[in-house]
Amino acid sequence: MDDLLVREKLRTYVVEDEPPMTLTSADLLKQGSRRRMFRFGAFSAVALVAATFVWFSLPSNEPQTVLSGEAPCLARVPLVTGATPDITVDPLAASSPLSAVDSTTATRVSCYLVDAVAALTPDARYLPATWRAVAPFQTVSASDHLLASARTPGGSFSVMITRSTVAPPSGDATVTLPDGRQVAVDSYPDLLGPGSRWLEVTLWTGHTLITAGADNYRTVRPPTFGDEPILTQAQLIQLVTAPALALYG
């Protein structure tokens, strides 16, 4: 998705007269990947319809039930003491519904992330649900990809995994790993307002497209931001290069 549409979508969330809501990296990660697809000339009609739905369909005040986790390791995720899910109805529920994945895949992806992110940020504590009403680190299916994400009081992160045999377009920058693999890097400073930051890295294995993103977004109504995204560029690269996430080879 192009920069203007992403920016306007986020500004819509900010200015509409709705209760405060946290917009996590899960949505931005998907939109950032679409932005590169747009540059590449592969922006599909389905993606455009989904984006239009989000633009005009903002969440209501009706609470949504939090999806429970499937992988047993999710019980190890350290939560913020006394925190509540603080979510409203998922604005993408109609255009991009979430569904469960098989327990083997859920355990592989979720448990890797639970342990890997804990090693990278041992002091982090997580909110009980993402803005899409999913437990932190739970792996779910959303249209053509798998998604796992989590929120902290200072920001959020997401990992998206897609089966793909087509090389993605390049990012704003490229990091070449010691083994010769290349990781596309995108950065979105001040996207939601002064002080907002969003990082995204993407690795293509030849069969699997793995994208990880992190932000410093606390809420978007009103917009408030932490100091830095909760994971650094180097930490995101460490996540996407893990064999555990290369589900399709």
Answer for the pair 168, 182: CB distance below 8 angstroms, yes or no.
Answer: no
What pLDDT, on a 0 to 100 scale, did the predictor assign at position 94?
A: 64
Mean pLDDT of the chain: 75
Q: For each of the chain's 249 residues, which pLDDT tens digit applies?
A: 333 334 444 444 444 544 444 444 555 555 555 444 333 322 222 222 232 223 233 343 444 445 555 678 999 999 999 887 766 556 566 667 788 888 888 889 999 999 999 999 999 999 988 877 788 999 998 878 899 999 899 988 999 999 999 988 888 999 999 999 999 999 988 877 889 899 999 999 999 999 999 999 887 567 788 899 999 999 999 999 999 999 999
Euclidean distance between CA atoms 62 and 56, whole angstroms: 17
At residue 5, what are phi and psi to the nearest 5 degrees?
-70, -40
Q: Which domain holds residue 137?
A: 3-60+67-245
CA 8 to CA 215: how far, in whole Å? 18
Separate counts of helices (H) and strands (E) for the chain? 5, 10
Q: What is the pTM of this model?
A: 0.76
- The runs of H, that is alpha helices, within the chain are 3-15, 25-40, 45-56, 103-120, 233-240
Q: How many domains does the chain have?
A: 1
